[in-house]
Amino acid sequence: MFEFLFNYSRTVFSKGSFVLLGAWPVWALVACILLGAAALAVPVWRMRDRASGRARGVRLGLLWLMQSMLLAIVLLMLWQPAMSVATLKPQQNIVAVVVDDSRSMALNEDGKTRKEKALEALNNKGLLEKLGKKFQVRMYRFSSGAERMEKLDQWKVEGNATHIGESLAQVAAESSTLPIGAVVLFSDGADNAGGVDLETINLLKRQRIPVHTVGVGRERFDKDVEVTDVQTAARALADSRVSAVVTVKQRGYRSAKGRITIKTDNATLASQEMTFQADGTLQTETVVFNAGNAGLRNLHVSVEPLQGEENASNNTVTRLVTVENRKPRILYIEGEPKWEFKFIRRAMDEDRTIELTTILRTTQNKIYRQGIENPKELEEGFPAKVDELFQFQGIIIGGVEAAYFTTTQMELLKQFVDRRGGGVLFLAGRSGLSDGGWNRSAMAEVLPLNLPDKKGTFHRDPATVELTPAGQESLICRLEENPEKNAERWKKLPYLADYQESGTPKPGAVVLVDSIVSGKGKYPLLVTQNYGRGRAGVMATQGTWRWQMLQPLADKSHEMFWQQLMRWLVQNTPGRVVASTPKPVLDDDSRVTLRAEVRDRNYLPMTDAKVTANIIGPQGVAEQVELRPDPLTPGTFVSEWRAEKAGAYLAEVLAKRGEEEAGRDVINFRREDGVAENFGAEQNRELLEKLAAETGGKYYKVDDLAKLPEEISYSEAGITVRETKDLWNMPVVFLTLLLLKAGEWLLRRRWGVV
Amino acid sequence: MRFRNFIVALVAWITLMSAGYAFQRRMAFDDDEGPLTLPSDAKEKTEYTFARLRYPNFRGGSGLWAARGNWTVDFPKADRQFVQGVRRLSRIHTRSVEQVVDLESDDIFNYPWVYVVEPGHWDLPDSQARKLREYLLRGGFLMTDDFHGTFEWEIFTASMSRVFPDRQIVDIENKDAIFHVLYDLDERFQVPGIIMFYTGRTYEYDGVEPKWRAIYDDNGRIMVAICHNMDLGDAWEWADHPRYPERYASLAYRIGINYIIYAMTH
């Protein structure tokens, strides 16, 4: 229809520029239009005296406007309007036909594979032939990179990845010496590299190469479940609970039940039922599992395939978790003998992953130490030197008044959280929290609560406990794998022996458990927050020991709670060297970023370190890589490396200052081939449309390519010539003139001014 | 005849005088069961409470104590006098009065430290033995005191073997934390009861040698601390008496406080 009315395709108008071919100047056209309009106003004004009441005012104005428009169009046509558009010179330009060679193109839909549908368009519907009549056609196939092909027979759809950006950049680079006029890209757009990068888009724009994208494949599956992401900690302590946040997308199974399982190579760690929500929505489920013994875990997280699923190969995602054999140390100082102290110690006796060292003030002048490494350790009480305190990963302050600590110790305690990245937990007591003066101490800033500004906040009265919504999600409070059962179990816990008024949570703090006191209301019981590089928490009771004494021996609520709270306290306390990589599992990708954060003894960034990574990989891969300082982040060192072979890699990162070793850390990563193409397999039309729009091309459906050969001609890349296309003879002009005159006549008859 | 009457009168007088003297001496110590007024802070809520176990008496028992129940020996003066020492000598927040608990109700689980006196006279039925086992395995601590000699030991172990049929009673080594947690108690000796004033001996029956024994849990922590052939309760009770030797009272206090702190740390 558009072309019937306007004689030319939209592309002519979108790519061309409007020109007036007449010899007379443009100002003359404007002057003529204005004079003509003024002249037409005189008879219309006179019509006013003769017209009946109905034809006055706005109506006469409308008649004048219609006459003036008609005159303006006629005058415009006399000035010979036209579109000037750049077109590719026939047979002097190359059109690059780039086809997606990745495995997702082999997906069978409606009886044909995506490749077959593309071939049908190229061969049977004669696209290649039509292009060949106007241009030289150069064919490429691409997956992780572009590769020239002479014939379509070489199109195998066996590639393990789809990297559109990289591939187009290669084609553009190759065209820098060739007259490439346009690129025609056949793809499902299921890019595994996160889309087309801006650099490639700018390169194509600079070379003015329009990319015409042809979308192949279904935009929506009818029945499919896909695990789109799994977030889990890269490291865990042995025997600790770890959560995996599984993101699932499905179509066609709304309200149906599914089952998420987490398996290692030889055992099932967790299994959890889920109910699917609306089609196409991203749904997250948290599955908790035990990390088990120290070692590397390959976690296969999957949703069991459902009946009728179109693509079952996108139901499993692999993640790596390094279960560490380190034994973090916690220093717990308590101001007076109390049952909570005993039962916390007993709970931690059963945890072989954390070492608990305690200082207990038994009398005014005596302390009793447990869990010390040698008789001299902590002989003088709470550490007053940085290296003595920073050797611990977590600190617990029991019922000890703030004044017991010197100014130096208080500052060290603050830096322990802020700079060293440790965890500190405050417990209730006669000399704890506000009653111990902590509300007015230097540590008040670190605490997750604004403590009450008063004394007498500690009460030896019973209090029950209640999980908050955040507590229901927290691993600290997970006594049962099943969230509902967990909430029930918390409700059944015996009452606490005491509680302390803890104040109001600060912004950013998370209240996990409330204590409920009959007749008084609710107080935050367990509150956490991050502070600096570390974390701080408050447990506003010293009476959880009743959970142990008042429940059957087989019940492990008390032990589990404290073990999990302690793990939270120390799990993420960093060492002096922390190595990381953003993607521990490389799906059909080889690029690895190695990063190391290096600190000195005082945990200040160490900028003058020499950092190397010794990498050991599959099939005898062994390489040493030097990490270079990141100029933007002091103490951080980075390097890019390529894992050329599929398999498991281990990198030991070593930091040295001169001959002195600052520390070392180990990271694991894994390259998996043949995986990426199973995911995101629906046609990514949005990406293809955006790519076309950004480069000046157009998006086409694979079964609607009739106009492509002509529209592709309008390009400013390659060898071009400018064409002018007259506009005076467009049917839309004549139709407009006719409508204006006919409309005026009808209105004048209606209004009685004929 | 006169002479004979004189002799009889003399013997009667001596007997009467002796009885009177003995009665006076006895009365000087034997007020432990007498009613005491409650201290003004008796209802204070504290972290630690001296809990005394009430238990059924052994069937063969006889006499006044058997009638009252041997669990009441030294009660309540020993308890109250001991906790005064606990308050003064440590940072333990301690209640001024004791708490009587038994193995019939679950209230005992609120008191993780329990004292039992004269377990050489106890006789725990199976149900109470089971409860005591559960109490101890959950983390409770039992201190036994004031039983002597082979006969009472046999009675004690008869019930204790129902509590822990499969656990041995062993001597506590000097290096054990229970003897060092606050006071270093390497030098220990027999702490006698007040019977020493009648017999002149620090031991009773054939319990010549004091024994510090224990039953440990699987993690090497003492659950039952057994003070055999000594009477710490009397030492606590009569610590304020000018005739009771200070060295015995001091050791009894130190042992008691160590045992509490041990129970609150292990």
User: How many Å is the maximal CA-CA distance in chain B?
Assistant: 78
Q: Band the pLDDT of B127: cuts 50, 70, 90.
A: very high
Please tell me the distance from the alpha carbon of residue A698 to that of residue A689, in angstroms, as a whole number: 7
Please tell me the distance from the alpha carbon of residue B111 to that of residue A550, in angstroms, as a whole number: 10
Which amino acid, residue A549?
Answer: M
Q: Which domains are seen in chain A, by residue range?
A: 2-87+724-751 (no CATH), 90-219+682-718 (3.40.50.410), 224-319 (2.60.40.10), 329-570 (3.40.50.880), 577-673 (2.60.40.1930)
If we measure between CA atoms, which residue out of B246, B261, B206 comes closest to residue B229?
B206
Q: Are residues B161 and B105 in the same domain?
A: yes
Judged by a CB distance cut-off of 8 A, whether residue A548 touches chain B is yes
Q: Does B140 sit within 8 Å of A548, measured CB to CB?
A: no
Average pLDDT over residues B220-242: 97
Please tell me the distance from the alpha carbon of residue A299 to that of residue A553, in angstroms, as a whole number: 34
Nearest by CB: A349 against B92, B219, B261 = B219
The stretches of A147-197 forming alpha helices (DSSP H) are 164-174
If we measure between CA atoms, which residue out of B139, B132, B44 comes closest to residue A547?
B139
Q: Are residues B109 and B65 in the same domain?
A: yes
- C-alpha torsion sign, points A65, A71, A75, A80: positive
Q: Are residues B24 and B53 in the same domain?
A: no
Residue entry with tokens 């990406």: A687
Take residue A9 and report the two structure tokens written for it.
């395709």
Give the list of residues 6+ apart from residue A661 with CB closer than 8 angstroms, or none: A654, A655
Which domain range does residue B148 map to? 44-263
Q: Which of A349, A363, A495 to mutate to test the interface with B (most CBs of B within 10 A)?
A: A363
Please tell me the distance from the alpha carbon of residue B89 to that of residue B254, in angstroms, as a whole number: 9
Residue B108 falls within a domain, yes or no? Answer: yes
A449 vs chain B: nearest CA distance in angstroms? 26
Angle at A75 between CA A72 and CA A80, to 5 degrees: 125
Give yes or no for a cis peptide into A81 (omega within 30° of 0).
no
What is residue A55's predicted lDDT score, i.e. its pLDDT? 54
Q: Are residues B11 and B61 in the same domain?
A: no
Please tell me the distance from the alpha carbon of residue B225 to that of residue B172, in angstroms, as a whole number: 9
Give the list of residues 6+ apart from residue B216 with CB closer than 8 angstroms, or none: B167, B170, B222, B223
Reduce the DSSP state of residue A423 to 3 states and report it: strand
DSSP letter for A441, please.
S
Residue B38 falls within a domain, yes or no? Answer: no
More confidently predicted of B207 and A51: B207
- The four Cα atoms B23, B28, B32, B38 give a dihedral, to 10 degrees, of 130
Q: Are residues B195 and B107 in the same domain?
A: yes
Q: What is the CATH number of the domain that holds B52?
A: 3.40.50.12140
Q: Are residues B13 and B103 in the same domain?
A: no
Q: What is the mean pLDDT for each group of 10 consecutive residues in chain A (754 residues)?
A: 87 86 90 93 77 68 90 92 85 89 88 92 88 90 90 89 89 81 91 84 87 93 93 90 93 95 92 94 92 92 93 91 93 98 97 95 97 97 97 98 97 97 98 98 98 98 97 94 91 98 97 97 98 98 98 97 97 96 89 96 95 94 95 96 93 95 94 86 92 92 87 78 86 93 88 73
Q: Are residues B131 and B12 in the same domain?
A: no
Q: Are residues B18 and B62 in the same domain?
A: no
Q: Are residues B126 and B57 in the same domain?
A: yes
Please tell me the distance from the alpha carbon of residue A32 to that of residue A527, in angstroms, as a whole number: 80
> What is the distance of C-alpha A337 from the center of its chain?
49
DSSP letter for A124, please.
I
High-pLDDT (> 70) share of chain B, %: 86
Total count of residues recorded for chain A: 754
Please tell me the distance from the alpha carbon of residue A490 to that of residue A465, in angstroms, as a whole number: 7
Residue B219: closest CA among chain A residues belongs to which residue? A349
Reduce the DSSP state of residue A99 to 3 states and report it: strand
Residue entry with tokens 């029956």: B205
Q: Residues of B at the A interface (Cβ-Cβ below 8 Å)?
A: 45-48, 89-93, 106, 109-110, 112, 134, 137-140, 181-182, 219, 221, 260-261, 263-266
Judged by a CB distance cut-off of 8 A, whether residue A349 touches chain B is yes
Q: Which of B43, B47, B260 to mutate to test the interface with A (most CBs of A within 10 A)?
A: B47
DSSP per-residue letters across A209-225: --EEEEE-S-SS-SSEE
Residue B25 pLDDT > 60, yes or no?
Answer: no
What is residue A680's predicted lDDT score, i.e. its pLDDT? 85
What is residue B13's predicted lDDT score, i.e. its pLDDT? 65
DSSP letter for B38, please.
P
Q: Are residues B133 and B79 in the same domain?
A: yes
Residue B194 falls within a domain, yes or no? Answer: yes
DSSP per-residue letters across A49-62: HHS-GGGSTHHHHH
If we measure between CA atoms, which residue out of A558, A550, A538 comes closest to residue A457?
A538
Take residue A222 and report the two structure tokens written for it.
């009818």
Judged by a CB distance cut-off of 8 A, whether residue A206 touches chain B is no
Take residue A53 and report the two structure tokens written for it.
């009441």
Nearest by CB: A363 against B89, B106, B266 = B89
Q: Band the pLDDT of B51: cuts 50, 70, 90.
A: very high
- CB atoms near residue A167 (< 10 Å): 28
| Strand partners of residue A513 | A467, A526
Residue entry with tokens 């407009």: A736
Average pLDDT over residues B65-89: 93
A245 vs chain B: nearest CA distance in angstroms? 36
Q: Are residues B102 and B50 in the same domain?
A: yes
If we measure between CA atoms, which residue out of A347, A339, A346 comes closest to residue A398?
A339
If we measure between CA atoms, which residue out of A335, A356, A329 comes closest to residue A398?
A335
Residue entry with tokens 């087309």: A196
Contact between residue B75 and residue B124 where contact means Cβ atoms under 8 Å apart: no
Q: Does B181 sit within 8 Å of A363, measured CB to CB?
A: no
What is residue A626's predicted lDDT score, i.e. its pLDDT? 97
Q: Band the pLDDT of B18: cuts 50, 70, 90.
A: low
Judged by a CB distance cut-off of 8 A, whether residue A657 touches chain B is no
Number of alpha carbons in the 13 Å side-chain half-sphere of residue A623: 14
Residue entry with tokens 């996108």: A314
- CB atoms near residue A612 (< 10 Å): 19
What is residue B23's predicted lDDT score, i.e. its pLDDT? 42
From the DSSP assignment, how many helices (H) and strands (E) are in chain A?
18, 40
If we measure between CA atoms, which residue out of B119, B120, B97, B116 comes closest to residue B108?
B116
Q: Are residues B200 and B239 in the same domain?
A: yes
- CB atoms near residue B64 (< 10 Å): 7
Residue entry with tokens 């003015």: A208
Contact between residue B128 and residue B103 where contact means Cβ atoms under 8 Å apart: yes
Judged by a CB distance cut-off of 8 A, whether residue A339 touches chain B is yes
Q: Does A343 sit within 8 Å of B90, measured CB to CB?
A: no
Residue B207 falls within a domain, yes or no? Answer: yes
Please tell me the distance from the alpha carbon of residue B216 to that of residue B230, in angstroms, as a whole number: 21
Residue B240 falls within a domain, yes or no? Answer: yes
What is residue B114's predicted lDDT score, i.e. its pLDDT? 98
- C-alpha gyration radius of chain B: 20
DSSP per-residue letters across A662-713: EEEEEEEEEEE-S-GGGSS-S--HHHHHHHHHHHT--EEETT--TTHHHHTT
Judged by a CB distance cut-off of 8 A, whether residue A556 touches chain B is no
Judged by a CB distance cut-off of 8 A, whether residue A370 touches chain B is yes
Cβ-based contacts under 8 A for chains A and B: 79
Which amino acid, residue A202?
Answer: N
Which amino acid, residue B183?
Answer: Y
- C-alpha gyration radius of chain A: 37
Residue B52 pLDDT > 70, yes or no?
Answer: yes
Judged by a CB distance cut-off of 8 A, whether residue A346 touches chain B is yes
Contact between residue A540 and residue A499 where contact means Cβ atoms under 8 Å apart: yes
Take residue A10 and report the two structure tokens written for it.
């939209």
3-state secondary structure A239-289: CCEEEEEEEEEEECCCCCEEEEEEECCCCEEEEEEEECCCCCCEEEEEEEE
Q: Does A546 sit within 8 Å of B92, measured CB to CB?
A: no
> What is the distance of C-alpha B157 from the center of its chain?
16
Residue B62 falls within a domain, yes or no? Answer: yes
A381 vs chain B: nearest CA distance in angstroms? 15
Residue B191 falls within a domain, yes or no? Answer: yes
Number of domains in chain B: 2
DSSP per-residue letters across B132-149: HHHHHHHT-EEEEE---H
Judged by a CB distance cut-off of 8 A, whether residue A553 touches chain B is yes
Indicate whether this model's pTM tops 0.90: no
- The four Cα atoms A698, A701, A705, A711 give a dihedral, to 10 degrees, of -10
| Strand partners of residue A577 | A598
Take residue A671 and report the two structure tokens written for it.
């390259």
How are beta strands B141-145 and B113-117 bridged, if at all?
Answer: parallel
Residue B37 falls within a domain, yes or no? Answer: no
Q: Does A338 sit within 8 Å of B112, measured CB to CB?
A: no
Q: Interface pTM (ipTM) of the complex? A: 0.90
What is residue B61's predicted lDDT score, i.e. its pLDDT? 66
